């Protein structure tokens, strides 16, 4: 007797639900995507108890007739693809026909729909039809999912807290609103409106609806394209950051996707301006021919494969880097100022707010003394020799005078605007970083022979990578030769290497070449090595220095193109205004 049996369809649907329906947010995502695919311009999501008791989605899409309305609960029944070729030219968010039968198998579902010619209402429990009746001719669909996982208690107990489930749902709707700015989204939980967009098609306005005006006025527009990809969106100034990557939002052909490589490119482009454990807010909308991508990888349809991916990554990195270099300003610390001209330009271009809101924004900027003074001080990074006497002083950096230090780490300075604290290590790291980056980008033949050559041994695969790049290493001024089995000997190095750190610098350079290997990029290599060298060569915290040494650090910092952050994004200087100091001591109230 055969041991293999064809699985009961209801059981199969419950198993499929394990992949498609993980939590309340999964249900919301699938239902909303169906509404979007139906051509809706107005979608309302109503929740009871964060969706655990009820999820109701109302749209004004094309609706369905009674046959399609019932057929949509049949596994793999879909109107979105017919042939295998359609998988490679997808223009809809859904296409597998798995979501509705999976959802229905683990909940109680009510579906009311009309195509304006006939209206029908179906109710299902555990995937089985329990009632059918005619309904009104309101065009569109209303679907309600109640008591999710009521018949699978083992799954029900793994639902998160109501607050966590609501947070996940909000995250889903936020991203759908950013993806489809021409659709009005309304999210309601227990009769409280959490999000409401106007469907005007304005991406920056949706960013404002989600993140608020303080964030939206500090977003910078990005727009670029190549032969395959067109990119549009907004990236935040480095001062606007989050503690996780959830706000690095990539939208491909109106589909929200997750791609670690794109996130890494974004983070790499920001690394000069922020700490490693902080992440910017970025919304990138990428348009591409559907034949160049593959979304049929995972049931969530959030994973994606790109053709000509390196071209896209290079374009994103260069464009984000250029925008940040051209728009980032130093912090007047208490106000965290930004470039007024660029922000106002964004709002003028996109007409985000009405006149009163726009005036309030301009008032916010104009009342900040530091912003008015610094609005012309946006800089573009240029490699220059900090030792040149003719080097132009950075006029945005304040004239300050050191009077001592705290904890052997922070230089205390003052002027008529208040008190300043400078992190001596971060400040010198910035000075060294700009110097070393120039040296790395323009290597010369000034080298010094080592009194005791260095012998370095590697594994076979590492040895071959270094050997393959040996001419490039020599072009940096490092005299390197093969020396025995899987090893090299270093006999000379550039004169500008920090004395006492030569071996460490050389090892780090070779390790970086090994790490990058096939993904080697000269600009990123130079930047990473310069940052590493700058950190190693700079004065450490808990080191007492004289006033003369403090003045020397400050004078060199003032010559930097970006004196406000170290090579790893930490601030070099913090300002406490006179007003803030007087307020702390209750001189003003």
Spans of all domains in the chain: 9-196, 203-335, 381-589
pLDDT class of 77 with cuts at 50, 70, 90: low
To the nearest 10 degrees (0 to 180), the angle between helices 502-516 and 522-537 is 150
pLDDT class of 292 with cuts at 50, 70, 90: confident
pLDDT at 443 (0 to 100):
85
pLDDT at 89 (0 to 100):
52
Q: 423-455, pLDDT tens digit by residue?
A: 999 999 999 999 999 999 888 778 999 989 999
pLDDT at 3 (0 to 100):
57
Q: Is CATH 3.30.1370.100 the right assignment for the domain spanning 381-589?
A: yes
Which is more confident, 89 or 337? 89
CATH of 9-196, one of 3.40.50.410, 3.30.565.10, 3.50.50.60, 3.40.630.30: 3.30.565.10
* pLDDT of 369 over the 70 cut: no
pLDDT at 397 (0 to 100):
87
Which is more confident, 352 or 298? 298
* pLDDT of 301 over the 80 cut: no
Bridge-based pairing of strands 248-252 and 282-288 is parallel
Which is more confident, 489 or 305? 489
Q: For residue 184, what is the enclosing H or E element? A: strand 184-189
Number of Cβ atoms within 10 Å of the Cβ of 291: 11
Least confident range of 78-82, 245-249, 407-411: 78-82
pLDDT at 492 (0 to 100):
94
Number of Cβ atoms within 10 Å of the Cβ of 126: 17
pLDDT at 300 (0 to 100):
52
**Mean pLDDT on 295-311:** 71
Question: Which of 45-49, 70-74, 89-93, 378-382 tops mean pLDDT?
Answer: 45-49
DSSP label of 393: P
Helix segments in 131-237, DSSP class H: 153-156, 162-179, 203-211, 213-216
Task: Quote the CA–CA distance of 383 and 578 in Å, as a whole number.
Answer: 35
What percent of the chain is predicted at pLDDT more than 90? 57
Task: Quote the CA–CA distance of 524 and 260 in Å, as a whole number.
Answer: 18
Longest Cα separation, the chain: 94
* pLDDT of 90 over the 80 cut: no
pLDDT at 74 (0 to 100):
82
Q: pTM for the complete prediction?
A: 0.67
Q: Where do we find the tokens 């089995």?
A: 485
pLDDT at 568 (0 to 100):
84
Least confident range of 277-281, 291-295, 522-526, 560-564: 291-295
**Mean pLDDT on 54-76:** 89
Least confident range of 9-13, 101-105, 269-273: 9-13
pLDDT at 425 (0 to 100):
95
Which SS3 state, helix, strand or coil, does residue 525 take? helix
Q: 132-155, pLDDT tens digit by residue?
A: 999 999 999 999 999 999 888 877
Which is more confident, 88 or 175? 175
- Rg of the chain over CA atoms, in angstroms? 30
Residue 575 tokens read as 């300002």
Q: Where do we find the tokens 């930004």?
A: 338
* pLDDT of 385 over the 50 cut: no
Q: 305-329, pLDDT tens digit by residue?
A: 888 889 999 999 999 999 988 876 5
* pLDDT of 456 over the 50 cut: yes
pLDDT at 354 (0 to 100):
39
pLDDT at 5 (0 to 100):
55
Q: 197-222, pLDDT tens digit by residue?
A: 999 999 999 999 999 998 999 999 99
Task: Quote the CA–CA distance of 167 and 280 in Å, as a whole number.
Answer: 19
* pLDDT of 343 over the 50 cut: no
Look over the chain and give the mean of its residue pLDDT values, rounded to a whole number.
82
Least confident range of 149-153, 162-166, 397-401: 149-153
CA 74 distance to own-chain centroid: 38
Q: Where do we find the tokens 């780090």?
A: 508
pLDDT class of 6 with cuts at 50, 70, 90: low
* 392 burial level (CB within 10 Å; 0-12, 13-18, 19+): exposed
Which is more confident, 96 or 436? 436
pLDDT at 141 (0 to 100):
95
Q: What is the dihedral of CA 250, 264, 235, 228, to 10 degrees?
A: -60
**Mean pLDDT on 244-261:** 91
- Work out the end-to-end distance of the chain between its first and last CA atoms, rounded to an integer number of angstroms: 89
pLDDT at 445 (0 to 100):
78
Q: For residue 419, what is the enclosing H or E element? A: strand 418-423
The CATH fold assigned to 203-335 is: Ribosomal Protein S5; domain 2 (3.30.230)
CATH topology agreement for domains 9-196 and 381-589: no
* 6 burial level (CB within 10 Å; 0-12, 13-18, 19+): exposed
Distances (CA, A) of 515 to 123, 454, 473: 57, 21, 15
Bridge-based pairing of strands 54-59 and 573-577 is unpaired
To the nearest 10 degrees (0 to 180), the angle between helices 260-270 and 309-327 is 30
**Mean pLDDT on 164-179:** 94
* pLDDT of 338 over the 60 cut: no
Helix segments in 476-575, DSSP class H: 502-516, 522-537, 547-558
> Buried b / exposed e across 194-232, counting CB within 10 Å, b at 16+?
bbebebeebbbbbbbbbbebebbbbbbbbeeeeebbebb
Helix segments in 367-501, DSSP class H: 369-374, 424-441, 460-468, 470-475
pLDDT at 22 (0 to 100):
79
Which is more confident, 215 or 86? 215
**Mean pLDDT on 245-254:** 92
């Amino acid at each position: 007797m055969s041991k293999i049996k064809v699985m009961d369809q209801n059981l199969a649907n419950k198993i499929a639900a394990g992949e498609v329906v993980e939590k309340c947010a999964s249900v919301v995502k699938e239902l909303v995507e169906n509404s979007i695919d139906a051509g809706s311009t107005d979608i309302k999501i109503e929740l009871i108890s964060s969706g655990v008791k009820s999820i109701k989605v109302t749209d004004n899409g094309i609706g369905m007739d009674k046959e399609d309305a019932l057929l949509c609960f049949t596994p793999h029944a879909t109107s979105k693809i017919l042939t295998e070729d359609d998988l490679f030219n997808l223009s809809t968010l859904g296409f597998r026909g798995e979501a509705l039968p999976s959802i229905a198998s683990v909940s109680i579902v009510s579906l009311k729909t009309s195509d304006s010619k006939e209206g029908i209402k179906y109710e299902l429990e555990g995937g089985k039809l329990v009632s059918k009746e005619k309904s009104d001719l309101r065009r569109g669909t209303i679907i309600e999912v109640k008591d999710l996982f009521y018949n699978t208690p083992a799954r029900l107990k793994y639902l998160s807290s109501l607050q966590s489930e609501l947070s996940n749902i909000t995250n889903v709707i936020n991203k759908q609103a950013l993806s489809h700015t021409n659709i009005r989204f309304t999210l309601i939980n227990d009769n409280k409106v959490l999000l409401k967009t106007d469907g005007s098609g304005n991406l920056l306005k949706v960013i404002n609806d989600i993140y608020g005006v303080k964030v939206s006025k500090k977003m910078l527009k990005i727009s670029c394209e190549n032969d395959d990809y067109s990119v549009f969106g907004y990236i935040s100034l480095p001062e606007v950051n989050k503690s996780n990557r959830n706000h690095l939002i990539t939208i491909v052909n109106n589909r929200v996707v997750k791609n670690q490589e794109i996130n890494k490119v974004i983070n790499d482009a920001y690394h000069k301006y922020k700490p490693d454990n902080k992440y910017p807010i970025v919304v990138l909308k990428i348009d591409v021919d559907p034949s160049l991508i593959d979304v049929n990888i995972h049931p969530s349809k959030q994973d994606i494969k790109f053709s000509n991916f390196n071209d896209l990554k290079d374009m994103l990195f260069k464009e984000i880097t250029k925008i940040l270099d051209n728009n980032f300003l130093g912090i007047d610390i208490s106000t965290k100022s930004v470039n007024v001209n660029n922000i106002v330009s964004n709002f003028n271009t996109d007409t985000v707010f009405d006149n009163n809101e726009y005036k309030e924004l301009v008032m916010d900027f104009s009342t900040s003394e530091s912003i008015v003074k610094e609005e012309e001080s946006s800089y573009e990074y240029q490699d220059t020799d900090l030792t040149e006497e003719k080097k132009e002083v950075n006029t945005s950096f304040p004239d300050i005078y050191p009077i001592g230090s705290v904890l052997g780490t922070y230089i205390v300075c003052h002027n008529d605007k208040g008190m300043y604290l400078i992190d001596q290590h971060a400040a010198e790291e910035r000075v060294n970083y700009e110097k070393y980056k120039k040296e790395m980008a323009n290597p010369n033949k000034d080298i010094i022979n080592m009194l005791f050559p260095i012998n370095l041994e590697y594994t076979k695969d590492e040895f071959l990578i270094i050997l393959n790049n040996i001419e490039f290493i020599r072009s940096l001024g490092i005299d390197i030769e093969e020396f025995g089995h899987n090893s090299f000997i270093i006999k000379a190095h550039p004169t500008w290497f920090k004395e006492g750190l030569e071996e460490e610098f050389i090892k780090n350079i070779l390790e970086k070449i090994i790490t990058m290997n096939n993904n080697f990029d000269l600009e990123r290599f130079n930047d990473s090595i310069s940052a590493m060298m700058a950190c190693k060569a700079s004065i450490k915290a808990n080191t007492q220095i004289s006033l003369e040494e403090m003045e020397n650090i400050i004078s060199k910092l003032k010559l930097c193109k970006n004196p406000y952050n170290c090579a790893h994004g930490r601030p070099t200087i913090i300002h406490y205004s006179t007003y803030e100091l007087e307020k702390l001591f209750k001189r003003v109230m």
